[in-house]
Each structure stands twice: as C-alpha cells, then as structure tokens.
Amino acid sequence: MTSLNFVICLFITVFIYFIFIYSFQNFLSSNGFVHRDLAARNVLLGENKVVKISDFGLMRQTHENVYHLKKGKKIPVKWMAPEALYNSEYTTKSDV
C-alpha cells in the first residue's frame, strides 16, 4: 500500500467514526439531552471498530434545548464552550 492510499484509507476511517459520533449526538439532542463532556477521551473503539461514547456523568436533560448551570457547581473549565462559561448555559451546539 502506498503512502497516499494509506492516507486516503485513514481519512475515510476517521470520517466514518465522525458520522457515528454525529449520529449519537443527534440522537441525544432529539431526545432532549446534552452530554456536556463530549471529547475524544470519551470516545471508545470497541470490537469490530464500533464507536462507543462514554462518561455520561455530566449529561443533563434540557428544557427547550437549553440547560442552565446552577451557580456554585464545579465544572471542567478547560474544555467548556465559551457560551457555557459566560452564560452558564449548555445547548446541543455547545456539545460540538
């Protein structure tokens, strides 16, 4: 396999993983939930290259697609979306 073929194969594989993660996120948001910690460290690769999402400890149910964070809660500031930091609200868009 040439290096160009390897790069193309790798790109296609990563794109397929992206589609799985997107489908999961779409499923969550359509059911009124926000994950709040969707990061590469929480994406697992199972048998037969099945993508699995983990760490649902920060997941919350939204009200009209928005979850408002209560003051005084500890949060992972390093990985938060700017709008979640400034407005203390999470949306399905801040999960991206």
94: pLDDT strictly greater than 80:
no
Is 37 within 8 Å of 57 (Cβ atoms)? yes
Q: Exactly one of 33, 37, 91, 94 is catalytic; which is it? A: 37
Is 52 within 8 Å of 45 (Cβ atoms)? yes
Residue 16: phi and psi, rounded to 5, are: -65, -40
In percent, how much of the chain has pLDDT > 70?
83
CA distance 95 to 62: 12
- Residue showing tokens 């939930």: 33
pTM of structure: 0.70
95 in catalytic set: no
